[in-house]
Amino acid sequence: MFITEKASIAAALSVAKDAVDGKAKIPVLTHVLFDREGDRLSITGTNLDQEIRSTFSAEIGRDFEPFACPAQMLVDIVKNVADGFNITVEAGRTAGKISDIRIRSGAFRTKLPVLPASDFPVMPSGNLPHQLSLSAVNFLKALKAVSFAVETNEQRYAYCGVRLDAEADGLMVCASNGNRLAKRFLSSIEFDQDLYGVPSVTVPNAAIPAIVKILDKKEDVTIDLSEDKIRVASDEAVLTSKLVDGDFVPYKALSPSKNGVRATFSAQALATALARVLTISSDKMSGVAFDFQPGRLVLQSSSDAVGGEASDEIQIQCDGEIRQGYNGRYVIAALEHLDRDEVEIIVGEGRNPAFLSTAGDPNTVMMVGVMRITGASSVTAHESEAA
Task: Please give the pLDDT value at position 276.
Answer: 94
Distances (CA, A) of 158 to 155, 211, 254: 9, 20, 18
Q: Has domain 130-242 been given CATH number 3.10.150.10?
A: yes
Residue ranges in the chain modelled with pLDDT below 70: 282-285, 304-307, 374-387
- Expressed in percent and rounded to 5, the helix, strand and coil fractions of the chain are 25, 45, 35
262: left (phi over 0), alpha (psi -120 to 50) or beta: beta
- Rounded to the nearest 5°, which phi and psi values hold at 185? -100, 130
- State pLDDT tens for residues 147-201: 999 999 999 999 999 999 998 899 999 999 989 999 999 999 999 888 888 999 9
- Write down the pTM of the prediction: 0.88
pLDDT at position 258 is: 85
Q: What 3-state class would DSSP assign to 185?
A: strand
For residue 277, the model assigns a pLDDT of 92
DSSP string, 194-211: --TTPPPEEEEGGGHHHH
Q: Rounded mean pLDDT of the chain?
A: 91
User: How do residues 209-255 score in pLDDT, each as one tens digit?
Assistant: 999 999 988 899 999 999 999 999 998 999 999 999 999 999 988 88
Q: 141: buried, middle or exposed (CB in 10 Å: 19+, 13-18, 0-12)?
A: middle
Q: Which fold has domain 261-368?
A: DNA Polymerase III; Chain A, domain 2 (3.10.150)
Residues 6+ apart with CB under 8 A from 316: 263, 264, 265, 292, 295, 296, 297
Given this chain, do its domains 2-119 and 130-242 carry the same CATH topology?
yes
pLDDT at 322: 94
Element (H, E) at 246: none
Q: How far does Cα 314 stand from its chain's mean position? A: 32
Query: Are 377 and 309 spatial neighbours (Cβ–Cβ below 8 Å)?
Result: yes
Q: Where are the domains of the chain?
A: 2-119, 130-242, 261-368
Q: Name residues whose C-beta falls within 8 Å of residue 254's C-beta, 6 or more positions apart in sequence.
A: 181, 353, 367, 386, 387
Pick the CATH number of 2-119 from 1.20.58.340, 3.90.1200.10, 1.10.3720.10, 3.10.150.10: 3.10.150.10
What residue type is 11 in one-letter code? A
Task: Give burial (CB, 10 Å; 0-12/13-18/19+) of 367.
Answer: buried
